[in-house]
Structure 1
Amino acid sequence: MSRVLGIIGAGKLGTTIGRAASDAGWQVDFFDSAPADLTSLIVEAMVPDARLVPLTDLVADSDIVMLAVPFSLSDQIDYSLLDGKVVLDPMNLWEPVDGPAPTTTERNGSTSQLVASRNPRMRLVKSLNHLGYHDYTADARSAEVPSRRAVAVASDDREARELVSQLVDDIGFDPVPVPFDRSRLLEPNGPVFGTWLDATSMRKVLDA
């Protein structure tokens, strides 16, 4: 039985990761607040084997729930539904688009700390945010290829981190598990953001 990736948001990142996960054997479900007919067209074109489902069904059925919405809209998600769920946060704050978020300054600049505070019962993992969405197509490689591009997976929940690491591996990248406090290093202006690193190099940067 395939694992289920539920993606909230059918934009560029969501559909790119969804297609990669679907190709790797994951069942992919989508929910988007946009009109259903438009979302259906996007999902059918980008991830043909995916399902478009209500949010409550997506959360109930998913092994991982991915929050693939603009950070400025992230406060509109019903986080109360996510108790006990492994939640993947690939969001970044883009101030020209999202505006300033002064509350992140109080949390050492990490938007994921703010996301975590919205429901402490989530099993939150920060990952897939420090590459561009197009990189997940261009740089994916099979596990047999040496020195694949690395993707950091930040969480203090070991089992949640392992599950997201499996997804990262399945879509063609070397996962680098790190503690949750490293999540701020993955965001814009951090030392690994937008940088091509293999797993060894990324561990050195994030452990420094």
Structure 2
Amino acid sequence: MKIAVLGAGHVGPVLARLALAAGHTVTIAGSGDPSRIAMITEFLAPGAVPMSASDAVADADLVVLAIPQHRFPALEPGMFAGKVVVDAMNHWPPAAAPLGTSEEVAARLVGAHVVKALNHIAYQDMEPAGGRAAGVAGDSPGAVRLVAEFLRDIGFDPVPVGPLAAGRHLEPGSPLFGVAAGRPDFENLSTLVKEQS
């Protein structure tokens, strides 16, 4: 697959390395000119190609949002139309928000197929993935399947948690957030979280 990783901070380069090791073609974009992240990319994700966000997304089969949440509004929503987008972002609102982060992302990226995944795993726990469970939430069965395939490729064990609205169970404040576990423990905890919500 052609993977576009938006974000060159902590999470983006780790996911780029995992995707490259799995044989995928990877582009990576920061918040500005691609030349600004060329050295970072060469050092942290050799083999990934730095591009502008619009160029990276245009040719991608799968887009991973791994940018700080506050930078998300700066992205042009139209460029994501028809794309499968993995929301790996997090934010810590001062109070309970009416929607989960990914629901807000989907509302802005009209025409994209947004799937919540990878946000609940700390970047230092991602590599090597080692079969660690990764929760997946989405409304499009085809998009969820594609993301699950990608997760398996890079070493995770994808665990569906429900529709996109269930993605809030993977966010900060949930018992699932930050959990590094195998499938059985993750599924058991996920069931408890859903029962208590």
C-alpha contact (below 8 Å) 1:126/1:153 kept by paired residues: yes
Q: Which residue of 1 aligns with 2:110?
A: 120
Report the Cα distance in structure 2 between the residues aligned to 1:45 and 1:87, rounded to whole angstroms: 26
Is 1:41 the counterpart of 2:31? The answer is no
Q: Distance in 1 between matches of 2:92 and 2:32?
A: 21
> 1: distance between equivalents of 2:51 and 2:14?
18
Shift of 1:55: 2.7
Q: CA deviation at 1:167?
A: 1.4
> CA RMSD, aligned part only?
1.6
Equivalent residue number for residue 27 of structure 1: 25
The answer to whether the 8 A contact 1:140-1:172 is kept is: yes
- The number of equivalent residue pairs is 191
- Contact 2:34/2:52, CA 8 A, preserved across alignment: no
Q: Could you tell me how far apart the structure 2 residues matched to 1:54 and 1:177 are? A: 32
Which secondary structure does the structure 1 equivalent of 2:123 belong to? coil
Give the one of 71, 90, 101 matched to 1:73: 71
- Alignment partner for residue 166 of structure 2, among 182, 185, 190? 182
- In structure 1, the residue matched to 2:195 is none
Offset, 1:53: 2.0
Please give the alpha-carbon distance, in whole angstroms, between the structure 2 residues aligned to 1:46 and 1:6.
16
C-alpha displacement of 1:34: 3.3
Give the structure 1 partner of residue 140 of structure 2.
Answer: 157
The TM-score, its normalising length taken from structure 2, stands at 0.90
TM-score, reference length from structure 1: 0.86
Distance across 2 between alignment mates of 1:22 and 1:177: 24
Give distance in 2, aligned partners of 1:66 and 1:188: 19
Counterpart AA for 1:74? F
CA offsets 1:5-59 (integer angstroms, 9 cap, x no match): 1011111100011011101111100121234333000111111111112333212
Matched residue, 2:98: 106
Gap runs ≥5 in structure 2: 193-197
Structure 1 112/22 Cα, relative in aligned 2: closer, same or farther at 3 Å? same
> Following the alignment from structure 1 to structure 2, what is the Cα–Cα distance between the partners of residues 124 and 94?
20
Amino acid at match of 1:116: A
Tell me if the contact between 1:182 and 1:206 (Cα under 8 Å) persists in the aligned partners.
no
Q: List runs of 5+ in structure 1 lacking aligned partners.
A: 142-147
**Percent identical:** 36
